């Protein structure tokens, strides 16, 4: 919403809030009789009717067909999340405890992608919306651990475990039997000198040391590509939770569902849309027509997660424009914070 646009009066804000929240709860157009005398609204029915008409003239409300009741427009929802909710933080529900619990499971500590998949499902269950969590880009991963194993006297395997849980393996064949002591020494050097580096980084200079013998340096040069050419976890990915719930949601237009599902199938378009706001550090929303062309009737609430000075990915919720924005905002904010805390020990 443009900062140059005149603000609504306090009375208009209260009435708009009442219409938005009642419509979200019921799905039925909201008439003046449903507002006058309700909680926080102590205006006369004639005043409420006048303000409803004025809000419609300003583009915040509309009325379907011949109904006397009003429903919010995309502009009305936008004003609600930008100007009404921030004025009354108490209207934001408490963060769902299921989010933190999803990241405290023992197995989640071993696989980042499992944590992301679980979180996408949890935020969907909490809100009854479609949850989408983008994974960190492969180049954001770091080396967590390196194993150097003697498979046969002339065969050595190097296993690189990335911070994302991705595992790459490479086998090296030698003309003569390899000294097991040299293999154990190489493992110690790898873990001492490349742990914390990004896979794919040219690490040979960091591995080699002038004090090493020519035999040791030659051995490390052969094994170095296992780290310098390792992948950080493959192509950038995202995880989706709650597809069935979203498709079954009667609040969402079937055509809008089809368009959004097509967007999910076009993973590059979806990632581009979410990546476009990766530099932001607050909850952000796209409502109805603000989303990509063809996604009218759908809204997105999202927040970025990451570590100090670096965003790694996005947690987002998609659903009908008639969604519970307060719950969606609280959910993605808590999920992003919990996931950021979880990843501090992985990426730092």
Are 175 and 201 in the same domain?
Answer: yes
Per-residue pLDDT of the chain (348 residues; tens, 9 = 90+): 544 456 899 999 999 999 999 999 888 899 888 887 776 788 888 899 999 999 999 999 998 876 678 999 999 999 999 988 887 776 677 777 777 676 665 444 446 777 888 899 999 999 989 999 988 766 666 788 899 999 999 999 999 887 766 678 889 999 999 999 999 999 999 999 888 777 655 666 778 888 999 999 999 989 988 887 765 544 557 888 988 877 776 565 667 777 777 777 666 667 666 765 666 667 889 898 888 777 778 899 999 998 777 788 899 999 888 899 999 999 999 999 888 888 876 655
Is 201 found in the same domain as 113? no
Domain boundary (173, 203, 228) is at 228
Residues 240 and 303 placed together within one structural domain of the fold: yes
268, 133: one domain: yes
With the C-alpha atoms ordered 48, 52, 53, 55, is the resulting torsion angle positive or negative?
positive
Residues 265 and 339 in one domain: yes
Domain identity same for 320 and 256: yes
Same domain, 190 and 292: no
Q: Answer yes or no: do 173 and 208 share one domain.
A: yes
Number of compact structural domains in the chain:
3
Per DSSP, the three-state class of 305 is strand
Number of residues that this document lists for the chain: 348
Q: What is the DSSP string of 62-130?
A: E--TT-SSBEE-HHHHHHIIIIIGGG-GGGSPPPPHHHHHHTTSGGGGT-HHHHHHHHHHHHHHHHTSE
Last residue within a domain, chosen from 90, 123, 152 = 90
Residues 190 and 107 grouped into a single domain: no
Q: At what angle do helices 325-347 and 112-127 cross, to 10 degrees?
A: 170
User: Does a structural domain hold residue 3?
Assistant: no
Residue 82 lies in a domain: yes
Q: Which two tokens stand for residue 129?
A: 């919306």
Residue 51 resides in a domain? yes
Do 66 and 123 reside in the same domain of the chain?
no
The per-residue DSSP string of 237-255 comes to: -EEEE-HHHHHH-TTS-HH
Give yes or no: residues 64 and 99 share one domain.
no
Query: Taking a C-beta distance cutoff of 8 angstroms, is the pair 295, 316 a contact?
Result: no
Q: Are 196 and 166 part of one and the same domain?
A: yes
Question: Apex CA 324: angle with CA 97 and CA 45, to 5°?
Answer: 135
**Tokens found for residue 302:** 């999202």
Distance between CA atoms of 286 and 82, rounded to whole angstroms? 11
Q: Residue 245 is part of which domain span?
A: 92-137+236-347
């Amino acid at each position: 919403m443009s900062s140059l646009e005149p603000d609504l009066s306090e009375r208009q804000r209260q009435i708009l809030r009442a219409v938005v929240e009642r419509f979200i709860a019921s799905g039925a157009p909201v008439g003046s009789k449903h507002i006058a005398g309700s909680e926080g609204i102590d205006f006369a029915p004639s005043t409420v009717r006048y303000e409803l008409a004025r809000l419609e003239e300003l583009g915040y409300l509309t009325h379907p067909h011949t109904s006397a009741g009003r429903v919010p427009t995309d502009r009305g929802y936008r004003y609600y999340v930008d100007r009404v909710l921030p004025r009354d933080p108490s209207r934001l529900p408490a963060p769902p405890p299921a989010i933190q619990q999803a990241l405290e499971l023992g197995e989640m500590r071993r696989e980042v992608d499992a944590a992301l998949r679980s979180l996408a499902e949890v935020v969907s269950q909490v809100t009854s919306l479609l949850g989408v969590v983008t994974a960190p880009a492969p180049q954001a991963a770091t080396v967590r651990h390196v194993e150097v194993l003697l498979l046969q006297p002339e065969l050595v395997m190097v296993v690189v475990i990335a911070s994302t849980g991705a595992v790459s393996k490479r086998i090296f064949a030698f003309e003569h039997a390899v000294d097991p002591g040299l293999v154990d020494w190489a493992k110690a050097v790898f873990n001492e000198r490349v742990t914390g580096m990004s896979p794919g980084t040219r690490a040979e200079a960091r591995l080699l040391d002038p004090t090493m013998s020519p035999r040791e340096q030659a051995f490390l040069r052969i094994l170095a590509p296992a780290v310098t050419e390792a992948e950080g976890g493959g192509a950038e990915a995202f995880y989706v939770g709650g597809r069935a719930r979203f498709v079954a949601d009667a609040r969402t237009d079937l055509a809008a569902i089809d368009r959004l599902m097509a967007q999910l199938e076009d993973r590059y378009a979806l990632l581009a849309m979410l990546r476009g706001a990766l530099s932001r550090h607050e909850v952000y929303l796209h409502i109805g027509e603000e989303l990509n062309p063809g996604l009218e009737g759908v809204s997105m609430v999202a927040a970025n997660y990451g570590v100090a000075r670096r965003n790694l990915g996005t947690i987002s919720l998609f659903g009908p424009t008639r969604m519970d924005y307060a719950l969606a905002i609280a959910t993605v904010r808590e999920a992003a914070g919990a996931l950021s805390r979880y990843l501090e020990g992985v990426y730092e």
